[in-house]
Structure 1
Amino acid sequence: MRILLVGEYSRLHNSLKEGLTDLGHEVVLMGNKDGFKGYPVDIYINHSFQNRVLHKIKVGAYKLTGLDLGSLEIVHKVKKQVNSLARFDVVQLINESAFSIQPKAELELLQFLKTKTDKLFVLSCSYDHASVKFMLNNGFTYSALTPYLENNSLKDHYKFKLQYLNEDFSLLHQYVVDHSNGIISTDLDYHLPLVGKPNYLGLIPNPINTDKISYIPIKTDGKIKIFHGINTHASLTKGNMFFTKALKIIEEKYADKVEITITTNIPYKEYIQRYNDCHILLDMVYAYDQGYNALEAMGKGKVVFTGAEQEWLGHYNLEADAVAINAQPDVAYLVEKLSWLIEHPEKIKEISLQARAFIEREHYYKNIAQQYLETWSIN
């Protein structure tokens, strides 16, 4: 089977490609490397207006004409590249807005890609129309939109998320619902907003290549090492401020027992190396399920503070604190959980082993690739 994977978030499509390739399929990955994270792609697609001068030209042209030169360039590049390739059996987009360009340009590319395959699928694994609408309507107890719901003065900060409710994005979403072969979610945060919706095919967990990710045995005979990697562009929506406040208390409370490392906006390859020797990794607060960074860290045997809500426990038939620690927007709660682990290092070893086993059982990349193949073939 020939498969085109379009776009990349947090290495999801890279891991899926590895699984599909190992199962004997031909896969091409096209995208923009997810910005500073720098994930590998086979065909790199991005606009040329990156430096300050060209960016000003792009902005000026938009103000004068309403045309986004970056979007026009990406549409041209995608069509040129795909037209040079043989037809695909399946095309899958990482998101309704896989190219991060104007919705009308995204729609043009969706319509174009449909002519290059008999089957077009779209993932829900980041902000899109359905997830933002669900969050805005308080579908979750807390979510990435909680800071905005509590303080509307943050509207400018949230304009990128809220734009998915605009008419042009709504039309793009409706096209996906009406004209794709189906929408697939990758975790509970995107599954719950889609339950019962038209053309929704269900949840397929994120694929993790544990053949490449080695388990790192936990040693707790020295200081407990805590790692917190911050992406400033997403720190508010992930709830990093709760971790930051909790760590200040932990640092004072256990000065002789802990070693805390905090990084900011580092590339993916450096990020995964920097946390290799930690015991505890602080991922995100505003989530019900784990994203990619959390899953890969769990695969290495780290005790991860992340989304692990009751809905997730029920879905995988798990007990609380068995394979990950549910991170809630409550500093006192986070301090309590961190203190429990610091004072009971045997629990760190126990959760570490169970975390690795969970990833191998529920997220093994070849098994997940097989689930995609079965979903694609049926629909």
Structure 2
Amino acid sequence: MRILLVGEYSRLHNSLKEGLISLGHEVILVSHGDHFKNYSSDYSIKPIFFSRFWITKKVRNAFKRFFSFDFEKMERAIRFYLILPKLKGFDHVQLINSDALELHPKVSLFFYKKLFAQNKKASLLVCGDETPVIEYLLKNEMKHSILSPYLNDSSLKKQYRFSLKYLQPTYKKVFNWLKDNVNSIIVSDMDYKIPMEKMNYKVNFIPNPINTHKILFSELKMDEKIIIFLGINRLSYDKKGIHFFEKALKIIEGKYADKVEIIITENIPYQHYISLYNKAHILLDQVYAYDQGYNALEAMAKGKVVFTGAEQEFEDYYELNERVAINALPEVNELVNELSFLIDNPQEIITIGKNARAFIEREHDYLKIAKKYLEVWK
């Protein structure tokens, strides 16, 4: 098959591409690299002119502030328009999100109609914020979710503008057109499966693909200090509940100053991020999730102990009898207790790390997952 993957936010599409190519398929990936993360693409629509130079940045920011006009979106649109003639004749097109191109919704819809018309089948992947997901989360029926901070404090609305935009009529129109024109809707984990099904959508659940050949397992050593890593992305700071981790780490640092080393980074490119967390024993990911996102899964594949979503629904679905991750809750004392237990019982870190790798190989191997995508697409 000839497959076109549009958009990238977490390296999900890159890993899926690697799996599909290994199975003998031709795959092209188009994206803007997800801003500072700089994920690789075959065709990049990353805005360069309005983001690289000091003076153009000033002009861009001024127009965005006073006229609500985004030159970066304009540049992305131009770049996609120029490569659009090359994006034809594919057996399948998959969008990573209804806003995969991050353009004005009317412009995105224009391009999607062109793209679908010159290719065969299409699918929509729901692996992040999406119209029905946000609509359901606002009902506040789940124990917790990425919207929990906003539901508890409406003054955070500005921080949630990227999530809440999917409720705007123009974004809803794009999603509604896509749901009527794709052949399948796919969800990547329980945090999207549950809301989509609650909103009466028929979805195909396919776990995130992890390249277990490229991401190697390394058994953790307890010779020196236990290293705890926290990578902060300011755009998702509230959604991931990072302040709970920060408070917990201050307590841990005071309690175990001679036993732990704490590494905290903020808004760094993916490759630099990976190089820093490789030596860590424990990675702190997020507190409002039911399941693991892509960042957590990659760390688990390396044998790290990850504080992330691992709720009962997740354990039941995969029929787990052992801990493969720490279910991180938005409670500082609970996080401190879990971290303290691991520091006082370092053998548990080794055991959970091995469990995590085995789980990834069993449920997230990129070749197994690529085959599942092919089954749904066909």
TM-score norm. by structure 2 comes to: 0.94
Bigger shift: 34-43 or 83-92?
Answer: 83-92
Q: Secondary structure at the match of 1:322?
A: coil
Quote the Cα distance in structure 2 between the aligned partners of 1:199 and 1:323: 30
Post-superposition Cα deviations, 1:26-51, rounded to whole Å, max 9, x if no partner, equal: 00000001110011100001344324
CA contact (8 A) 2:63 2:69 kept: yes
CA contact (8 A) 2:89 2:120 kept: no
Quote the Cα distance in structure 1 between the aligned partners of 2:77 and 2:224: 54
Q: Secondary structure at the match of 1:122?
A: strand
Shift, 1:109, TM fit: 1.4
1:200-239 paired onto structure 2 within 5 Å? 200-239=202-241
Relative distance call for 1:253 and 1:65 in structure 2 (3 A) is closer
Quote the Cα distance in structure 2 between the aligned partners of 1:204 and 1:15: 13
Task: Report what 1:354 is aligned to.
Answer: 355
Quote the Cα distance in structure 2 between the aligned partners of 1:180 and 1:356: 34
Shift, 1:13, TM fit: 0.5
Amino acid across the alignment from 1:173: F
CA contact (8 A) 1:184 1:200 kept: no
Shift, 1:16, TM fit: 0.3
Which ranges of structure 2 fall in alignment gaps of 5 or more residues?
none
Q: Secondary structure at the match of 2:145?
A: coil
CA contact (8 A) 1:31 1:41 kept: yes
Relative distance call for 1:273 and 1:72 in structure 2 (3 A) is closer
Q: Secondary structure at the match of 1:259?
A: strand
Relative distance call for 1:121 and 1:198 in structure 2 (3 A) is farther
1:28-67 paired onto structure 2 within 5 Å? 28-47=28-47, 48-50=49-51, 51=53, 53-55=55-57, 57=59
Amino acid across the alignment from 1:115: A
CA contact (8 A) 1:189 1:287 kept: yes
CA contact (8 A) 1:177 1:198 kept: no
Quote the Cα distance in structure 1 between the aligned partners of 2:176 and 2:56: 34
Quote the Cα distance in structure 1 between the aligned partners of 2:17 and 2:168: 33
Amino acid across the alignment from 2:16: L
Task: Report what 1:308 is aligned to.
Answer: 310
Relative distance call for 1:24 and 1:56 in structure 2 (3 A) is same
Task: Report what 1:81 is aligned to.
Answer: 83
Relative distance call for 1:256 and 1:72 in structure 2 (3 A) is closer
Quote the Cα distance in structure 2 between the aligned partners of 1:119 and 1:332: 50
Task: Report what 2:248 is aligned to.
Answer: 246
Relative distance call for 1:232 and 1:67 in structure 2 (3 A) is closer
> Does residue 335 of the first structure (1) align with residue 361 of the second (2)?
no
Q: Secondary structure at the match of 2:17?
A: helix
Q: What is the RMSD computed on CA atoms of the aligned residues?
A: 1.9
TM-score norm. by structure 1 comes to: 0.94
CA contact (8 A) 1:68 1:102 kept: no
Bigger shift: 116-125 or 322-331?
Answer: 116-125
1:263-302 paired onto structure 2 within 5 Å? 263-302=265-304
Relative distance call for 1:255 and 1:68 in structure 2 (3 A) is closer
Give the paired residue count: 376
Which ranges of structure 1 fall in alignment gaps of 5 or more residues?
none
1:49-128 paired onto structure 2 within 5 Å? 49-50=50-51, 51=53, 53-55=55-57, 57=59, 69-128=71-130
